[in-house]
Amino acid sequence: MENRSKIFDVIKFIAIFLVVWGHAIMCIDHQFQKELVDIIYTFHMPLFMTISGYFASNSFNRPVREFTYRKFIQLLLPALAWSIIEVAWHYSLGTGYSLRDSFIGNSWFLKTLFAISVVVYLLKKTHINDWVLFSVSCAIFFAIPNASTLKFNEMYFYFWIGYFMKKYPLNIKAMTTCSLICLFLFVYLYCIRDYFEFIHWLPMTINTIQSDTATLAINYSLGLTGTITVIYGLQSVEHLICNCRIYDLMAKFGRYTLQIYVLQTFFLIFGMSALVGQPQTMASGCIICIIVSVFTIACSITTTHILDRISMVSTILFGKLSFSGK
């Protein structure tokens, strides 16, 4: 169990690095930007949601009050706190940024994960077959107008995929085979995506299902195959990399994904501000973005250690529970 949790910490680090790196790349004005961002954005948030679903079953046996309280503290409280901080920050700088969009969209993943966790928890309390719950609830949410707000519909599917991964574990041979097949499919689908007018984060609604069926199929297939490739691929080679120093370091940093997620904006702006508008080659742009991403992650973890010294601040900003257990 310890090794299994450790490899998922490594996967979480890879996911958060892709998030930070993707945001850094978007600050570079170069042709390579779109290609790299397209690759990263096909699966990095589905990967996060799948991991969240994988570990969700550990909390589904808790009473309603305890479950709701924990999820509120761990997810919704930090999301609301950082939304307020960002609104105040933009207002003080007079950036003209939409305060409504800032408050709603900031830390959207945490808000969406909270909503999905509560919905699936309540559905599980009906004791209906999991596959029936999954199928029927997906169909219902697809039919509800505005259910794609904060990407709820898009992420709901991947949460269940993570849950099923945990419920139906594969052996090493099966994971290796599955990851290789998914890698091939991911590359193939990515190569043909332009034929279907590929659009990131196309809302999953009845209207888009009817009018953009091919695009939605490509979107979800890329997200699913990319996610499975990373999770099963790394699990299948864990025995080869578990003694590496970099493995332990990535696992250690992977425990700070929430903190890096909410703090990244401030350090990315500082790190990239001097580079905006500067001419970049593809190689130098990639290297600079990697360096800035490492800088952002290091600063976020350092800031976390400083703020963790004050229990109330740690709870409000990072969702740290004041009592033992998770």
Residue 68, pLDDT > 90, answer yes
| Greater model confidence, 195 or 52 | 52
Instruction: Tell me whether residue 274 is in a domain.
Output: yes
Residue 161 lies in a domain: no
Q: Is residue 309 part of a domain?
A: yes
Whether the pLDDT of residue 3 is over 50: the answer is no
Tokens representing 274? 């001097």
Whole-Å CA distances, 67 to 48, 71, 163, 178, 283: 20, 6, 17, 34, 47
Count of domains in the chain? 1
Query: Which residue segment(s) compose the domain that 319 sits in?
Result: 20-39+243-326
Tell me the average pLDDT across 71-80.
Answer: 94
Mean pLDDT of the chain: 84
User: Which whole number is the average pLDDT over 40-44?
Assistant: 89
User: Which residue, 255, 250, 251, is CA-closest to 304?
Assistant: 255
Structure tokens at 216: 């939605």
140 within domain boundaries? no
CA distance 252 to 294: 14
Contact 41, 53 (CB under 8 A): no
The answer to whether residue 28 scores a pLDDT higher than 80 is: no
The answer to whether residue 289 sits within a structural domain is: yes
Is pLDDT of 106 > 50? yes
The predicted pLDDT at position 323 comes to 46
Q: Are 109 and 84 in contact (CB under 8 A)?
A: no
Position 324 pLDDT exceeds 60: no
pTM of the model: 0.88
Residue among 221, 269, 241 at smallest CA distance from 13: 241
Decide if 112 is inside a domain. Answer: no
Q: With respect to residue 304, please indicate whether it lies within any of the assigned structural domains.
A: yes
